[in-house]
Amino acid sequence: MISERAVALVKKFEGCKLKAYLCPAQIPTIGFGHTHGVKLGDRCTQEQADKWLLSDLNATERTINEFVTVKITQNQRDALASFIYNVGPGAFKNSTLARKLNNGDYTGAAAEFAKWTKAGGRTLPGLISRRAAERALFESKIT
């Protein structure tokens, strides 16, 4: 199960906007990075944004359960949740990060986070910070 740590990490890096906007990858987005069925001009309440976040994280949890075949810690699960929430399940499933992780190469998987810092063809400082935080959580001991 994804913990409050993952929820907090996603909230920190996604931020919350109650009016739809184009993210750096030019995808209509609303709330805490919600994209499904969003059109520019859409608006939502804070309550709806919170519901979408939890629903989207539940979908992320299903992706982890389906495609991660090795034992992972809660911190690794939470780091992966934030990563998948941001890049999408398809990108994760086909990633070198997932392949290395499922081959038991936890160190190699951790190093892959830093390679995912571009959106719309540009390296973004926010993604550099996010991937560093995800990697740090992935590599951290459970406290």
Catalytic residue among 16, 23, 61, 139: 23
Instruction: Return d(Cα 69, Cα 130) in angstroms, integer.
Output: 24
Instruction: Tell me, yes or no, if 23 is annotated catalytic.
Output: yes
- Give pLDDT tens digits for 22-73: 998 899 999 999 999 999 999 999 999 999 999 999 999 999 999 999 999 9
The CATH code of domain 4-139 reads 1.10.530.40
Question: Of 14, 44, 112, 134, which one is the catalytic site residue?
Answer: 14
pLDDT in tens, 73-89: 999 999 999 999 999 99
Residue 141's pLDDT band (cuts 50, 70, 90): confident
pTM of the model: 0.94
Q: Is 4 a catalytic residue?
A: no
Distances (CA, A) of 71 to 5, 57, 104, 125: 19, 20, 9, 31
